[in-house]
Structure 1
C-alpha cells in the first residue's frame, strides 16, 4: 500500500466505523419507522381497504417535503432538533438524526411502491378469508412484496452511504469526510483514490448481497 495509506490507517478504520454507525442507525430507522409509514401510505390510498384522503394527503405531503429538501440544507435546518434529541449537534451520533429522517421518508416511498405492485387478487383473497388488517399486511402484502422490499432497502442503503459522505459538516466523520480532509485538503491523491476504492467495494458488496437475497426470496414465492 502507498506510504500515506499506511500512515493514516488508524484514521481510515475509524472513518469506516463512523460510516457503518451512521448508515446502520439510518437503516434501522428506515425499517422500524419507514416500513410502517409506507404501509400506511398504501392502506390510506384511494381504492384501498382503509382509504382516507386527509390522512393520506398529510402523510404523503410530509414525506414529499422531507425528500424535497437538498440533504445538506436539511442537515443544517435540523440542527436545533438534533440538539434536542441527542444533546449535541456535532459528532457521529448527531449526524444520524438527519440521516435517519431522510432514510425514513425515502424508504417509505419505496415500500408504498412495492406494496402497490402486489396483485389485487392477493388482497381480495385475504379479505375473502376474513384476514384482519395485521394479517393482511404481514401474511399477505409483506410476503408477496418481500423481494421488492429487499431490493428497495438495498437501493436505499446505497443512497444512505452517499448521504453520509457529507456529514463532515456537523463533525459526523465517515469515509467521505476523511477523503475531503486528508485527501483533498492536504493534496494527498493516494488517500483520495484509496477512499474512493473503499466506497466502491462497499457499495458493490451491498448491491450483490441485496440482489442475491432478493432473488432467493423471489424463488420462494
Structure 2
C-alpha cells in the first residue's frame, strides 16, 4: 500500500494543489483545514508523513508540530508563509523534519516528501533498544533513559539522527553520508536541521557543549560517535 500523507492547511486551493500533486506521484492523501479535524482523524489512522501549515485558524501550528514529533513520532514537514530564519529554526527545534516556504512548487514538495519517506525509521540489523555510555535509547517509544531510570523524550527526527550514530559508532559520518542516510535536500536547510538536532541530542545526553563526550564534531569533515553500543 502506498504511503499516506496528511495535509493540514487552511487554504482550500493549497490543499487541493498538494493533494493532486501527491496523488499523481502515487501517494494516498487526507486533507484538513482545521487542526481539530486533523487531530480527530489521528485517532483513527496513522499517517506516514504530515504536511503542516503554521497559520491555522484554531490552533498554533508550532504546538501541533511539537506534539506530532514527540508524542506520535510522526515525520513532519512544515509548509508556511513565515520566511524568517527564527521561524524555521523554531520549527526544526520542535521536531519538524523539513521546512518549506510559501509560495512553493508542488514538485519540490513531492520531492521532499519522497526523500523524507526514504529515510529508514529502523533497519533489520538493529533492534528497538540501544545501550551506550550509561544511557538506554528506546526507539519504540522515543525516549532516552539514564542510569537512574529517568526518561527524556526525543522526536522522531532526533531519533533518526541518534540511530544513525549508534549504528555506526567510532566511525566518521560526513554530511553527505547523513543526507544520503536520512533523506532530505542537501543545502543550508538540511545542514541547519542537522545542527539543531545534534545540539538537542547533546543537551538531552547532558553533554558539555564545549567538549562533548559522545557526539564529536570533526570540523570540515562531519561527526563521530565515540563509545561502545549494545543493541537489543
Task: Provide TM-score, normalisation by structure 2.
Answer: 0.27
Q: Quick check: which one's helix share is greater?
A: 1
The structure with the larger Rg is: 1
Task: Provide TM-score, normalisation by structure 1.
Answer: 0.28
Q: Quick check: which one's strand share is greater?
A: 2
Higher relative contact order (CA 8 A, sep 6+): 1
